[in-house]
Structure 1
Amino acid sequence: MITPDYSTEAAPQTRERLIQTMIHLLQTRGLHGAGLSELLALAQAPKGVLYHHFPGGKTALAVAAVEATISWSCNKLDEYLGSGNDVGQALGSWIERAQRGLHGSGFERGCPLAAVALESTAADTELRAALAAGFQAIRARLAQALERNGRTPAAAQGLAALIVATYEGGLLQARVANDTAPMAQATAALLALLKEKEPK
């Protein structure tokens, strides 16, 4: 199993270690597989520190992990999309990075957002609210870029939703297959669609 390494002098502060460790466990174990004792051991943090930073315990930490993942994803998208970059090319690079990360982890590290979404229930209102807001933020960035590339607002929003669904679904299929082919195939079909001109 791939584990975080906090042995260097540049190790992050305790709160950040807890968040990064939770992200790691969500990627590899899922929400319910992330045991509190293991999380604290990996983060090199005593139990009291968890509740000091996250009074809501594991759920509050999971919400922080979701928000941190969304923030990172949005920043990455901003890098790839820029102000005038071709959306298809930018998305190809974004998805290729995800494929490399999945392959490099031995198909162990999936998307923490998908893990939480799949395991959450109607009672997990905070988690679902964080996920909903996060996915909306990603879709909004994609839609804005698509509009800059000439799509109408309605078409841009629809394509943005399709892109997120393709990314998450492709990553999930690739992980369980131990093969990036399903994600690559879905990406190729998506990029071909993006090259088509919008019907008048």
Structure 2
Amino acid sequence: MDTKELIINTSLTLFHQKGYLGVGLNEILKVCSISKGSLYHHFPNGKEELLIACLHSLNETITTDMEEIFSNHPSTQTATQAMIEKLAMQFDRDGTITGYTFSSIVSEMGSLSEPVRNACALTFTKIQGIYASKLESDGFSKETAESMALMLTASIEGGIMLCLTKKTSDPLTIISKSLPNLLKVF
């Protein structure tokens, strides 16, 4: 793993554990065992630039994983249920869902930094696009697919946050079981 990747991966873990505002550059430097100069070599604009790189990395990880799951299932319902099952199993195993939620970063930094808000918005847009594309292949109109994609994104992101706050995977399990009825509404 190169230094830039080490910094991003370490920072993602720390941001997930403590929030963006709860992590200082000195902590990142210490955990990575690198100098300040090395960090600024890769991220000349500092911590916010590092956060945006972390968000882009999350974007890639999340959407690549989703695209793989969705390409291996015949319908939006089965693909979404498989994805939710994977998230619930990760939560049950690890007590958290690392890498799949960045709502805390949006709430912490979205109103303070337009570049951070844009990076988060890009990921949500890509996620919604994956859902919408699959829904259209299921036979829904483009307009309906886009509406349903927004609803699915919000439901699952909210479900993840509820899992984290309630310390149980039950919210995701309930969403998964409700999918057939939710998809019929449209």
TM-score by length of 2: 0.91
Output aligned runs, 1:26-65, within 5 Å: 26-65=15-54
1:104 CA drift (Å)? 2.2
Cα deviation, residue 17, structure 1: 0.8
Q: Which residue of the partner structure matches residue 186 of structure 1?
A: 175
1:192 Cα offset (Å): 3.0
Is it true that 1:127 corresponds to 2:116 in the alignment? yes
Check 1:183–1:130 CA distance in 2 against 1; reply closer, same or farther (3 A cut): same
The percentage of aligned residue pairs carrying the same residue is 26
Q: For the Cα contact (< 8 Å) 2:20–2:108, is it kept in 1?
A: yes
**Deviation, structure 1 residue 45:** 2.1
Task: String of CA shifts for 1:35-83, please: whole Å, max 9, x gaps.
Answer: 2222222223221111100111110010011011011111111101117
Relative distance call for 1:89 and 1:112 in structure 2 (3 A) is closer
- Identify, as 1 or 2, the structure richer in helix: 2
Distance in 1 of aligned mates of 2:115 and 2:37: 22
TM-superposed deviation, 1:171: 0.7
CA distance in 1, matches of 2:40, 2:89: 35
In structure 2, what is the Cα distance between the partners aligned to 1:70 and 1:122?
Answer: 20
Shift of 1:86: 1.4
Q: CA deviation at 1:87?
A: 1.2
Residue 94 of structure 1: CA displacement?
Answer: 1.0
Q: Is the CA contact 1:84–1:148 (under 8 Å) kept in the aligned structure 2?
A: no
CA distance in structure 1 between the partners assigned to 2:86 and 2:115 by the alignment: 29
Aligned CA-pair RMSD = 1.9
The answer to whether the 8 A contact 1:27-1:108 is kept is: no
The 1-side partners of 2:48 and 2:147 are apart by 32
| Greater mean deviation of Cα atoms: 37-46 or 48-57 | 37-46
Aligned residues: 186
Residue equivalent to 1:115 = 104
What are the superposed Cα offsets for residues 148-180 of structure 1, whole Å, 9 maximum, x if unpaired? 110111110011111111111001111111111
Amino acid in the other structure paired with 2:88: Q
Determine the structure 2 residue equivalent to 1:106: 95
**What is the DSSP-based 3-state SS (H/G/I as helix, E as strand, rest coil) of the residue aligned with 1:33?**
coil
| 1:24 CA displacement | 0.9
The alpha carbon displacement at 1:121 in A equals 4.2
| Structure 1 unaligned blocks of 5 or more | 1-11
| Aligned counterparts of 1:67 and 1:157: Cα–Cα separation in 2 | 23
Q: Equivalents in 2 of 1:26, 1:190: separation in Å?
A: 31
Segments of 4+ in structure 1 off by > 6 A? none
**In 2, Cα distance between the equivalents of 1:136 and 1:16?**
25
> Displacement of 1:133 after TM fit?
1.3
Match of 2:159 among 143, 165, 170: 170
Q: Does 1:93 align with 2:82?
A: yes
